[in-house]
């Protein structure tokens, strides 16, 4: 148990790299809530130096010019700075900055999910070697304190699974496609106009932003750093509005879902892809730019964490939380490096061996025997059909129709083989549309 807060607050000197949307929020909100933070932590967190790319750039927050500079080494070389906050993004300069800060025995706070997903293993090893921790609450799900939940709140639980909607851009796009019947292109355009999507939305819509976050959550949950090459990722840009209509008829909606779980042999699967989610499940109601993370622990059962996954104030709230943790480390004593490896797990499950239900929509020739041909390709690989929809349109004279199948649990490798064979059938027109289905039961 830490001792009581010091009668005289201890000054904690912070170097801030990046004064963009989140960095400006960190500076603004620390100043606004300074008295509260002092009372709760016994620490007076002071921004001593701020590094930016362009000194002349207009900013939404008023910062004394004397604090600003452009050389990141000023943060790592200043002996008075105890904590370095990295909010510049990317994986090159940010990596150099974090390494230099750790080697200088400075605590690091970062919101950089790509950096941790790609180079987390070596950074946490360096942190352990240097005795300087890394805090990274802001790297996943904005203002939702999910990192602290896994590190502390559920530390006595084996994590059976995590299902997360952890990209606000994709969730907004899919919500608008579902509720307003918009095409993907129109929903993306609207998201960009409202500021939910970047001018170049590739990282978000490809699924990789969510996948980076999933790697971090999986690594914390299972005690080894998940290689990026073992993570299965699909984006949202190929989803057709018709899939939402059929999904609804079947009792589902579509979400970009990150799934993390370990099987009975301790093999860990990590994947992010558009997924059918039951309309009856709470995750189906997570709309707009909101995020939600459902964690299933062996002791606690299911717990749900919900909130804004991006934005200046939610994300800066997580950064400030980490700064308070860093202050507690400096005032009361050392903590762990930020990531605690262990050997209870240690291997990623090959994506081809992952198992789930599937949704499959085909455009097929309107002729007898089509279902039999498709079922034969599935059946020859041990894949069964649980239900089927073939809508009747008496006015359709195109000679083709939709065939929608719900598929029983199947190994992905077998499903991909079946899809290749189905695609080659003469009765199948165009590219099949298929997605995983998560029943979210237990």
Burial of 430 from C-beta contacts in 10 A (0-12 / 13-18 / 19+) = exposed
Structure tokens at 40: 């709760």
How far is CA 365 from its chain centroid? 40
**Cβ(276)–Cβ(437) below 8 Å:** yes
Report yes or no: 111 and 89 within 8 Å, Cβ to Cβ.
Answer: no
For the record, the structure tokens of 435 come out as 């997605």
Q: How far apart are CA 72 and CA 96, in angstroms?
A: 9
Strand 83-86, strand 159-165: pairing: unpaired
Convert 307-342 to b/e letters by CB count within 10 Å (16 or more is b).
bbbbbbebbbbbbbbbbbbbbbbbbbeeeebbbeee
3-state percent breakdown (helix, strand, coil) of the chain, nearest 5: 40, 25, 35
Which residues are within 8 A (CB) of 8 and not within 5 positions of it... i.e. 6 or more apart?
Answer: none
How many residues would you count in the chain? 442
Which tokens go with 24? 């400006």
Per DSSP (E only), the strands in 154-246 are 159-165, 232-233
- Residue among 106, 213, 255, 349 flagged as catalytic: 213
Active site residue 255: no
H or E segment to which residue 68 belongs: strand 68-69
* Spatial separation of the C-alpha atoms in residues 114 and 206, rounded to whole Å: 14
Contact between residue 104 and residue 77 where contact means Cβ atoms under 8 Å apart: yes
Distance separating alpha carbons of residues 6 and 44, to the nearest angstrom: 11
**What is the DSSP code (8-state) at residue 56?**
T
Q: CB 265: neighbour CB atoms within 10 A?
A: 8
| Angstrom distance (rounded) from CA 290 to CA 168 | 6
Helix (H, G, I), strand (E, B) or coil at 11: strand
- Please work out, in degrees rounded to the nearest 5, the angle formed at the alpha carbon of residue 150 by the alpha carbons of 132 and 222: 85
Closest CA to 290 of 146, 172, 140, 440: 172
| Enzyme catalytic residues | 213
């Amino acid at each position: 148990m830490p001792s009581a807060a010091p009668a005289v607050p201890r000054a904690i000197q912070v170097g801030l790299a990046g004064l963009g949307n989140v960095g400006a929020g960190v500076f603004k909100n620390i100043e606004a809530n300074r008295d509260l933070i002092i009372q709760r932590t016994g620490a007076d967190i002071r921004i001593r130096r701020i590094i930016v790319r362009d000194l002349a750039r207009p900013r939404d927050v008023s910062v004394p010019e004397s604090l600003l500079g452009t050389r990141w080494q000023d943060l790592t070389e200043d002996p008075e700075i105890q904590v370095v906050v990295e909010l510049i993004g990317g994986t090159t300069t940010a990596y150099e900055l974090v390494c230099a800060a750790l080697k200088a025995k400075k605590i690091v706070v970062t919101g950089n999910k790509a950096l941790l997903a790609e180079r987390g293993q070596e950074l946490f090893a360096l942190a352990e070697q240097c005795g300087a921790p890394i805090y990274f609450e802001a790297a996943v799900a904005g203002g939702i304190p999910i990192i602290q939940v896994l590190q502390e709140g559920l530390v006595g639980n084996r994590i059976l699974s995590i299902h997360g909607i952890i990209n606000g851009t994709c969730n907004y796009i899919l919500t608008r496609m579902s509720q307003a019947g918009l095409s993907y292109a129109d929903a993306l355009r609207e998201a960009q106009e409202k500021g939910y999507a970047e001018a170049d939305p590739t990282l978000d819509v490809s699924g990789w932003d969510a996948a980076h976050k999933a790697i971090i959550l999986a690594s914390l949950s299972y005690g080894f750093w998940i290689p990026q090459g073992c993570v299965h990722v699909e984006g949202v840009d190929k989803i057709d509005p018709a899939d939402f209509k059929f999904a609804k008829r079947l009792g589902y909606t579509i979400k970009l879902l990150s799934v993390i779980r370990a099987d009975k042999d301790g093999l860990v699967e990590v994947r992010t892809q558009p997924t059918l989610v039951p309309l009856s499940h709470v995750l189906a109601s997570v709309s707009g730019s909101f995020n939600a993370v459902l964690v299933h622990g062996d002791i606690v059962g299911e717990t749900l964490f919900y909130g804004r996954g991006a934005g200046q104030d939610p994300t800066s709230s997580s950064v400030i939380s980490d700064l308070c943790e860093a202050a507690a480390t400096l005032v009361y004593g050392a903590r762990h490096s930020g990531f605690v490896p262990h050997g209870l797990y240690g291997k990623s499950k090959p994506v081809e061996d992952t198992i789930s239900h599937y949704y499959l929509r085909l455009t097929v020739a309107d002729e007898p025997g089509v279902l039999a041909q498709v079922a034969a390709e599935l059946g020859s690989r041990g894949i069964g059909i649980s239900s089927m929809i073939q809508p009747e349109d008496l006015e359709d004279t195109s000679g083709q129709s939709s065939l929608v199948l719900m598929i029983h649990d199947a190994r992905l490798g077998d499903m991909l083989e079946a899809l290749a064979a189905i695609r080659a059938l003469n009765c199948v027109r165009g590219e099949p549309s298929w997605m995983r289905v998560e029943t979210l039961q237990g």
